[in-house]
Amino acid sequence: MSYSAYGTEMIARAEAFATAAHEAVGQTRNYSGESYIVHPRAVAKIIQALPDHTWQQVCMAWLHDTVEDTGVRLETIRAHFDEEIKEGLYYLTNVEREAGNRRERHAMNIERLALAPARVQTVKLADIKDNTKNVAQLAPSFAPLFLKEKDDVMAVLKRGDPVLWSLTMDQIEQQKKELALEA
């Protein structure tokens, strides 16, 4: 898909911003140790493979973990990107740890995502798809809880891209089967 010059510039800005933010805190992927930016890059590629995506969704994909993982504030996002991207990141950012225990935070995140616009729900689907691709192999003891939580989230992402929803759900089910085989 081709974007306007402005959209292309904003995608490049989002990629650079996310890369700098994640590298500044030395973030790596849990369980694999890879540079963290491989995850936002993969989420952006999933979005770009969708026929009806927007450049704003690609930006959200690059930036989706920046606020919760690097200390960048939503106000900073607003200063560098448009309101649609900032709003999307609000929905995509998990509530802070201080908001409650894991179960309580999970419920709050689900409530927030249930209200998210379809375009934002689609970005969350891409995030879940990348995060669940090999969780059974990389984190077999954590995977059952993680996959159950993703099932809960999937239940409210019905406005997201339907094909991506199905592919992501199939992948979650496949990971559950792999765990059952290992048990």
Q: What is the pTM of this model?
A: 0.96
Residue 183 pLDDT: 52
- Using the predicted structure, report yes or no on whether residue 170 has a pLDDT greater than 80: yes
Average pLDDT over residues 90-100: 92
- Using the predicted structure, report yes or no on whether residue 120 has a pLDDT greater than 60: yes
Amino acid found at 74 = L
Q: What CA–CA distance (Å, rounded) separates 15 from 140?
A: 31
Structure confidence at residue 33 as a pLDDT band (50, 70, 90): confident
CATH T-level fold of 5-182? Hypothetical protein af1432 (1.10.3210)
Amino acid found at 14 = A
> pLDDT averaged over the chain?
96
Would you kindly state where each structural domain of the chain is located, as residue ranges? 5-182
